[in-house]
Amino acid sequence: MSTEICKLLCRNLTRVGDRHFSQNLQAENVPRQIPREKPAVRRAAFIGKGYPLLIIPMTAFGLGTWQIRRREWKLGLIKELEEKMSKPPQPLPENLEDVKKLEYQKVKVRGTFDHAKELFIGPRSDIRAGEGRSAQTQSTPGVNVVTPFKLANRDETILVNRGFVSFKDRPQQKRAEGQVEGEVELTGIVRLNDKKPVIGNDPMKDGYWFTRNIDEMADIAGTSKVFIDADANSTVPGGPRGGQTQLALRNEHLTYIVTWYALAAFTYFLWYRNFRSPLPHKTVLEYVKKQQQKKV
């Protein structure tokens, strides 16, 4: 009896051992988890990488470079105009059509004024107001007096901007002393038409032009389409204050250059920080290895 019991126990132990051994063998054959070969985070497509957004800093950089060239052109233009105004005065050309090529150049003319056909450009301020006048006079608005000028020894009449008068002195009777009679010689600077204003006006209703519109003025006064600003030496007591030519060309291109280049740098920095920061590790195993290397 005891022999049979021993055989039964041995047989059960053998079965349990075989089962345990089989489970261990299977466990050893089960492959471990292999880190993914593909990136943990999928790489974005071309558009997702933000490359189209580079057009913003590229455009700003291009505009900054363009402003450099514009600044060089503007400085050259200012220098050219200053050279023209510094040249000695010359006579008006025989063909008055050639006057269009002489903008900002000094000319010398001789003739008589036709005060009955005065025209006005305004509102204007006296650009020479700071020369020995009170603060109240300096801030007084007014107009520029444009008078037809009959050239001596020529059957032609031009327009001369005699200078500034305040609105209260616009009527001729209030400045009778300054209405020059007889033949005079004066020096002036050739001017061309102003750009048309955004908001125009009716000079017949308002009594003056907003801008220098030589074509309209010449048609109304019956003169040639030639316009000069009389210089400061033309001023007479009680008359308009001459020398109202203002050479003021806006040159803010340096500010534009700094603005556009700064915008280009800033937007590129934002793009780089958002789209070119270090990429995630390709695999978990690579990440673990790098962490272990840091600890060593």
Spans of all domains in the chain: 41-86+250-296, 105-234
With a cut of 70, say whether residue 120 has pLDDT above it.
yes
Q: Which of 101, 100, 232 is nearest to 161 (CA)?
A: 232
Each residue's pLDDT tens digit, 171-224:
988 998 889 999 999 999 999 998 887 787 888 888 999 999 999 999 999 999
Instruction: Write the pLDDT tens digit of every residue in 47-66.
Output: 557 788 889 999 999 999 99
The answer, yes or no, to whether residue 161 has pLDDT greater than 90, is yes
Which has more confidence, 88 or 289?
88
Report the chain's mean pLDDT, rounded to a whole number: 81
Alpha helices in 109-247 (DSSP H): 135-138, 203-206, 214-221
- Alpha-carbon distance of 122 to 244, in angstroms, equals 12
86 touches 79 (CB < 8 A): no
Mean pLDDT throughout 251-279? 86
Q: What per-residue confidence (pLDDT) applies to 222? A: 94
pLDDT band at 24 (very low <50, low <70, confident <90, very high): low
- Provide the pLDDT for residue 6: 55
Per-residue pLDDT, 231 = 92
Helices (H), the chain: 2-29, 55-86, 135-138, 203-206, 214-221, 253-275, 284-295
The mean pLDDT value for 78-103 works out to 88
